[in-house]
Amino acid sequence: MLKKHLDDYFKLEAHSTSIRTEIVAGITTFLTMAYIIFVNPSILAQAGMDSGAVFVATCLAAAIGCLIMGLWANYPIALAPGMGLNAFFTFSVVLGMGYTWEAALGAVFLSGILFLLLSIFRVREWIINSIPMSLRLGIAAGIGLFLALIALQNAGIVVAHPATLVTIGDLSQPPALYTLAGFFIITALSYLRIIGAVMIGILGVTFAAILLGHSEFGGIVSAPPSIAPVFLELDIAGALNVGMISVVFAFLFVDLFDTAGTLIGVAQRGGLLDKDGKLPRLNKALMADSTATMSGALLGTSSTTSYIESASGIAAGGRTGLTAVVVAILFLISLFFAPLAGSIPVYATAGALLYVAVLMCGSLAHANWDDVTDAGPVLIAALAMPLTYSIANGIALGFISYAGIKLLSGRHKELNPAVVVLAILFALKFLFID
């Protein structure tokens, strides 16, 4: 009876799949993205948030996002708090701009509302089509470089210097050695197509550090910690500050393109696109993502987004929302592994951040380097993020440079109204608000 209900609801037979295949696919996807339950609390804790509470919020936000995507949109795509977005939350908004983490959560919530409205009124297509491909590539690479800098900084491999701003740290220290070892292991295992390579690397470094006396072991299983320190602590009034407008936009912008790119890329790999190359029920998928972001902000975590790691589950045969539901269940089970998450030192996740950075910087390979009017803005956007320690600044400078270079090159016909308006707004912000 259960089998028939599942088949009818998820249309398993129509998608040429089975319950067993979907379960295996769900487990596969979870193993490739489970690192976020260790990495996200580590990053948001640096913003002053309670690590245990963020751990619970991360698991719950991921579970809610996966359930909405699976039960409503019926896609085998998993969601969780996004890498890059959590770094922007901590290092740009809180530590860089000086806003409270409560106000930053308010900005995340508002960006989720805007994302939902854009999806409902189908403005998303206009926005995405208006942004030049070169800027999209530069932004993706810039986030990767930003993550790489954070990882190297957390490991003590890159440190501050009064004359040169940055220099190399002491590579003989345990944090640097463990980070490099983790990065080497994760990269090698990924090349060998070992499922769960990132999680294996994180846990391997953690246990090695514990055995060698460089980290303390807090246990493996216990009741989930309290979510109270971050639950419903968002400050929406603080997020409505005029200086936060660019922050809300940055959250929205990055989440919008990250989600759209992930959905299309993963769907293409799984043969889920229609004959016109479009994704059926795209608006449902986008609304699932935006709803998950709002839920995550209420729970106490940064923006929730679709994960490219979902491709691993699709490669294992996942074709319906049942795969995402399985991932949701596994995230809920993970709630009871808080002591293990608390035992993981920052340098154990630094290697994972560095690996994710490598993947994101791969977008540079698709840039048009033969056209300097395209290549210039790509480089500006990519370099500005790590060098200004801000994803928002990278996006802004990317738009300004693209519009300025195209205009002075006599190629103003390549500029559309959206790019021009955004470039002007960003320029005014730098001139009169910063």
The mean pLDDT of 327-331, rounded to a whole number, is 93
pLDDT above 90 for 30: no
pLDDT at 247: 83
Stretch 394-398: mean pLDDT: 85
Please say if the pLDDT value at position 179 is more than 70.
yes
Return the beta strands (E) in 125-238 as ranges: 158-161, 165-168
Largest CA distance in the chain: 71
pLDDT band of 331, cuts 50, 70, 90: very high
- Grade residue 126 by pLDDT with cuts at 50, 70 and 90: low
Q: Residue 325: CB partners within 8 Å, gap ≥ 6?
A: 26, 66, 67, 70, 71
Q: What is the mean pLDDT of residues 148-168?
A: 87
What is the distance between the alpha carbons of residues 26 and 325, in angstroms, rounded to a whole number? 8
Q: Is the pLDDT of residue 116 over 80?
A: yes
pLDDT at 337: 83
H or E segment at 158?
A: strand 158-161
Q: Is the pLDDT assigned to residue 403 strictly greater than 60?
A: yes
Structure tokens at 191: 């090349």
Tokens of 411: 């190629």
- What sign does the CA torsion over 91, 95, 101, 107 have? negative
What is the average pLDDT across 391-417? Answer: 87
Residue 255 has pLDDT above 90, yes or no: no
Query: Is residue 408 predicted with pLDDT exceeding 90?
Result: yes
Task: Give 258: exposed, middle or buried? Use CB within 10 Å, 0-12, 13-18, 19+.
Answer: buried
Share of the chain above pLDDT 90, in %: 27
Q: In terms of pLDDT, which residue wins out, 335 or 8?
A: 335
Highest averaged pLDDT of the listed ranges 38-47, 239-248, 359-368: 38-47
Average pLDDT over residues 284-308: 87
pLDDT for 265 equals 61
CA distances to 93, 198, 303, 310, 346 from 31, in Å: 30, 9, 21, 10, 20
Output DSSP code: residue 213: T
**Residues present in the chain in total:** 434
The predicted model gives 255-284 an average pLDDT of 68
| 290 within 8 A of 112, measured Cβ to Cβ | yes
Q: How confident is the model at residue 117 (pLDDT cuts 50, 70, 90)?
A: confident
pLDDT at 128 over 70: no
Q: pLDDT (tens digit, 9 = 90+) per residue, 364-373? A: 888 889 999 9
**Sequence-ordered alpha helix ranges (H) in 229-281:** 236-239, 245-269
pLDDT score recorded for residue 278: 64
CA-atom Rg of the chain in angstroms: 21
Predicted local distance difference test score (pLDDT) of residue 64: 93
Coil/strand/helix, residue 316: coil
Is residue 277's pLDDT more than 60?
A: no
Where residue 66 falls among pLDDT bands split at 50, 70, 90? very high
pLDDT confidence of 1, banded at 50, 70, 90? low
Q: What percent of the chain has pLDDT over 70?
A: 92
| Cα(58)–Cα(333) distance, integer angstroms | 12
pLDDT at 321: 86
Q: Is the pLDDT of residue 227 over 90?
A: yes
pLDDT band at 270 (very low <50, low <70, confident <90, very high): low
Distances (CA, A) of 72 to 95, 254, 255, 333, 375: 37, 24, 20, 22, 40
Name which residue leads in pLDDT, 357 or 300: 300
Taking residues 124-132, what's their average pLDDT?
67
Decide if pLDDT at 39 tops 60.
yes
Q: For residue 131, report the phi and psi dihedrals to the nearest 5 degrees.
A: -85, 120
pLDDT band at residue 125 using 50, 70 and 90 as cut-offs: low
- pLDDT score of 363: 78
User: Helix (H, G, I), strand (E, B), or coil: what is residue 150?
Assistant: helix
CA distance 9 to 386: 46
pTM of the model as a whole: 0.75
**Residue 434: band (very low, low, confident or very high) from pLDDT cuts 50, 70, 90:** low
Average pLDDT over residues 192-213: 85
Q: What is the mean pLDDT of the chain?
A: 84
DSSP-derived letter for residue 122 is T
Quick one: tokens of 31?
């193993």
